[in-house]
Amino acid sequence: MSAIHSAPAFWRRLLAEFLGTCLLVAVVVGSGIAAQRLSPDDVGLQLLENSTATVLGLTVLILVFGPVSGAHLNPVVTLAQWWLGRSSGAGPRPGEVTGYVAAQCAGGIGGAVLANLMFEVPAGMAATGRTGGGLLVGEVVATAGLVLLIFALARTGRGALSAPAVGAYIGAAYWFTSSTSFANPAVTAGRMFTDTFAGIAPSSVPAFVGAQVAGGAVGVLLVMVLYPTAGRAADAVVVPQLEPTQARI
């Protein structure tokens, strides 16, 4: 007996993207606050604690929400999926892209607020400025690598590896990029709303988001060169969002 599959209802996909991004930012910010309190005199240990929690949390979130929405949890991934899939008819329509991005950004902000509430951090905008050309180059590299990884897995039928692979990549990029790998406009927007270890000052956000979009474009270009038929697999990014609708023998 086999099953016929279809994409879940759009509202369910939006809810999954909202919740997934919300919880991702809660993991990033919450573990950053915990690390700062547990290891107040060792920034390196703080980063290790923060990155470890993010790797594990992101992996779990992709496993939970991937079957519903694909678990993009990132506007750059959604835009890349639309761009690569537009010619083959795969991937989201423009209206779906808008909904995904809005849900992701709202979730990112909600996640920061949730982390602040859990750790009783006073509400307020972040004061940590993150400026400099080196940091922006780091964001371009981190985001380009993320997009390339995701679409390489999708195009070669290895989507089942997305959860651990994406988690591992982000964990590594915490350490090998100068910016500690935000690589996500929704997460960046959310991290404005916490004046803690993981925060980013609002004045630093436009440049970071611009670098992430540029990195996404570089990643898409690399995908098109290395995997010229990747657009045909755009529906399988990050994880195919399918559910059984009926069974047949």
Closest CA to 161 of 236, 248, 94, 99: 236
Under the banding of pLDDT at 50, 70 and 90, the label for residue 101 is: very high
What are the boundaries of each domain within the chain?
A: 2-248
For residues 248 and 124, which has the higher predicted lDDT (pLDDT)?
A: 124
pLDDT of residue 228: 87
Q: Are 216 and 145 in contact (CB under 8 A)?
A: no
Give the pLDDT mean for 139-155: 96
Share of the chain above pLDDT 90, in %: 81
Q: How far apart are CA 31 and CA 52, in angstroms?
A: 9
pLDDT of residue 234: 67
Mean pLDDT score of the chain: 91
- Residue 3 confidence (pLDDT) above 80: no
Q: Give the helix/strand (H/E) hosting 243.
A: strand 243-248
User: What are residue 120's DSSP bridge partners?
Assistant: none
Q: Are 11 and 174 in contact (CB under 8 A)?
A: no
Q: How far apart are CA 15 and CA 13, in angstroms?
A: 5
Closest CA to 206 of 218, 219, 180, 188: 188
Give the pLDDT mean for 90-112: 94
Give the pLDDT mean for 89-112: 93
Closest CA to 205 of 116, 130, 113, 97: 130
- Residue 123 confidence (pLDDT) above 70: yes
Give the pLDDT mean for 130-147: 97
HSE value, Cβ hemisphere, 13 Å, CA-based, for 58: 26
pLDDT of residue 149: 97
Q: Which two tokens stand for residue 169?
A: 């990549």
Please give the model's pTM, rounded to 2 decimal places: 0.92
pLDDT of residue 40: 95
Under the banding of pLDDT at 50, 70 and 90, the label for residue 130 is: very high
pLDDT of residue 241: 66
CA 77 to chain centre: 7
The fold of 2-248 is Glycerol uptake facilitator protein (1.20.1080)
Give the end-to-end CA distance of the chain in Å, rounded to a whole number. 4
CA 182 to chain centre: 9
What's phi and psi for 179, nearest 5 deg?
-95, -5
Give the pLDDT mean for 161-174: 97
Under the banding of pLDDT at 50, 70 and 90, the label for residue 2 is: very low
- Residue 245 confidence (pLDDT) above 90: no
pLDDT tens profile 153-165? 988 888 889 999 9
Closest CA to 65 of 158, 188, 163, 181: 163
Dihedral angle sign, alpha carbons of residues 216, 221, 224, 226: negative
Give the pLDDT mean for 184-212: 97
